[in-house]
């Protein structure tokens, strides 16, 4: 039916950011369902979630080990 379910974080940044990503993606409106032989089927998507932190939050995260591909300036 296009509803979002089973949301999980594959490579987390911080538990609070991970929880927020799951919350936001879970609230997503229904997607157009996948079709196979003209029948709706479940589909798995993997996509990045990018956060933009304000200066105060950015300073809190500086100095912490970050996963590959995440750069905090």
Q: What is the pLDDT of residues 2-24, one digit of tens each?
A: 889 899 998 888 888 889 889 99
Measured in degrees and rounded to the nearest 5, phi and psi for residue 62 equal -60, 140
pLDDT band at 73 (very low <50, low <70, confident <90, very high): very low
In this structure, what is the dihedral angle of CA atoms 52, 54, 58, 59, given to the nearest 10 degrees? 180
Instruction: Tell me how crowded residue 28 is: count the other CB atoms within 10 A of its CB.
Output: 11
Question: 34 and 42 in contact (C-beta within 8 Å)?
Answer: yes
pLDDT of res. 50: 84
Q: Give pTM, 2 decimals.
A: 0.64
């Amino acid at each position: 039916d296009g509803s979002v379910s089973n949301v999980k974080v594959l490579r987390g940044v911080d538990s609070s950011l991970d929880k927020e990503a799951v919350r936001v993606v879970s609230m997503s409106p229904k997607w157009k369902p996948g079709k196979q032989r003209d029948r709706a089927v479940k589909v798995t998507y993997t996509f990045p979630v990018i956060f933009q932190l304000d200066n105060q939050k950015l300073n809190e995260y500086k100095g912490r080990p970050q996963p590959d591909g995440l750069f905090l300036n």
